[in-house]
Amino acid sequence: MFELATPHPRFHRSFLAATDEFLAAGEEPYAGIPNLPPDRQFDGLSLTRAEMDDPGTFARYATWLAGLREPDSPRPANYVPSTVRWMADGDEYLGQISVRHELTELLLTWGGHIGYSVRPSARRRGIATAALRMILPTCAELGIDPVLVTCDPDNVGSRRAIEGNGGVYEDTRSGKRRYWVPANVGAPTVADTPA
């Protein structure tokens, strides 16, 4: 059954298969390989694809991602706390969606509250649309309503997922279409989830 799961070591094999799909598609920014240099408040977290094969390393990475929701979690200086969820069907990793708990200047203009990606082999099955719908109650719980979601003008899939969740277009800034999505729309039913 499709769900939004907390990052967990049980996804190791499937997560790395998805990583390899993203890399093969030339989509390294979505491949889930952390490349975060140290800064004044963070020790840094950079891994290679080969290092992620190690179960212990992957488990620590998943735990770090899950902890990002805590206000005092270790994270880069320009990161706000965020709730990270993995789109999943059983132990099958399908993609990632995260909610940034606050908007910085850059997020207000460009990045928005939410980021998401679906592994190439799972696209065009309604997964991004469903994941966005299913994360909205989490946004409402965090006091985020409406939710800012942005996309590139030529990203048809993302644009349709946003508009399919009631996103109201505001404007385009720095090349990003900016939408406000109402969060208080109630929890989804099982019938709403993709096949």
Ligand X SMILES: CC(C)(COP(=O)(O)OP(=O)(O)OC[C@H]1O[C@@H](n2cnc3c(N)ncnc32)[C@H](O)[C@@H]1OP(=O)(O)O)[C@@H](O)C(=O)NCCC(=O)NCCS
Least distance between ligand X and beta carbon 136 (Å): 14
d(CA 93, CA 97): 12
129 binds ligand X (CB under 6 A): yes
161 binds ligand X (CB under 6 A): yes
157 binds ligand X (CB under 6 A): yes
Residue (28 or 51) nearer to ligand X, CB: 28
Among 126, 137, 182, 188, binds ligand X (CB under 6 A): 126
Q: What are phi and psi of 170, to 5 degrees?
A: -100, -60
Burial of residue 130 (CB within 10 Å: 0-12, 13-18, 19+) is buried
The closest residue (CB) to ligand X is 157
Among 4, 65, 118, 148, binds ligand X (CB under 6 A): 118
Residue (4 or 128) nearer to ligand X, CB: 128
Least distance between ligand X and beta carbon 186 (Å): 19
- Which positions lie near ligand X, rule CB under 6 A? 27, 30, 116-118, 123-129, 151, 155-158, 160-161, 164
